[in-house]
Amino acid sequence: MLYIAVYNIVSSMRPLALATDGQHIVYLLLGAGLGAFVSWIVTYESERSKKRRMDTFTSIADGSVEVDIATCWKKITNPKNMAYYTIGHYGAFQDAPEDIGPGTRFERKGYQGSRQTVFISVWEPPHRFAWGNDRYDWNDYIELKKSGAATQLFLRRKYYPSTPPWHAYLFRKFFPQHGDIRNDSDLQYLTDDRLKKIINVCTAADRV
């Protein structure tokens, strides 16, 4: 068992022949406590990983713009413009291919040397366009509908549970006044904000 292994490590710090019965008990309790704590961490992180894969929250926003659907489609699917309405810590996509379709892969540099890879998962011109970090799934889904000379836009975004790692969970538990737990209204704000940026791309005269 895990606590036995920890006990052996702790007790090896002092020759067992010199340890008293009381010290043996202390070592055993210490090993059991550390073992139980490590076991809890492993279990917590395992469940956190499962929850992230299985449980998602989808936020929806919609709007309209006095621009024809063909122009809207061309502007929002231009990789140079995507950098404007996606994550702000990343720059423009590098070496973006001219022909875009399902499975198209983009990469770009981010904050402090980080990198982001994005896959196009849905591509149905000029109505549906979706992308995400998985080749076969999406994080953001845009749908365009013609409305006379205008265009209606619908944005769906997937958010994964913000279950904190074990150390952050303990910090929040013992210091709740410093918690930073996002709620549904926060996520809806992020979706609404992204839709506004997409609409700005459609209407901006300097974006093609």
> What is the per-residue DSSP string for 37-78?
HHHHHHHHHHHHHHHHHH--EEEEEEEEESS-HHHHHHHHT-
pLDDT digits (tens, 9 = 90+) for 81-133: 887 887 655 666 766 666 777 888 888 776 666 777 888 999 999 999 998 88
What's the confidence (pLDDT) of residue 196?
94
Q: How far apart are CA 10 and CA 199, in angstroms?
A: 62
Mean pLDDT for 130-137 is 86
**Is the pLDDT higher at 145 or at 204?**
145
Look up tokens 């006990």; give the residue: 7
Pairing of strands 128-132, 140-147: antiparallel
| CATH number for the domain running over 56-203 | 3.30.530.20
Looking at residues 137-153, what average pLDDT do you find? 94
Encode pLDDT of 42-80 as tens digits.
Answer: 887 877 766 655 557 788 999 999 999 999 999 998 887
Domain boundaries, the chain: 1-54, 56-203
**Judging by beta carbons within 10 Å of its beta carbon (0-12, 13-18, 19+), is residue 153 exposed, middle or buried?**
buried
pLDDT reported for residue 88: 59
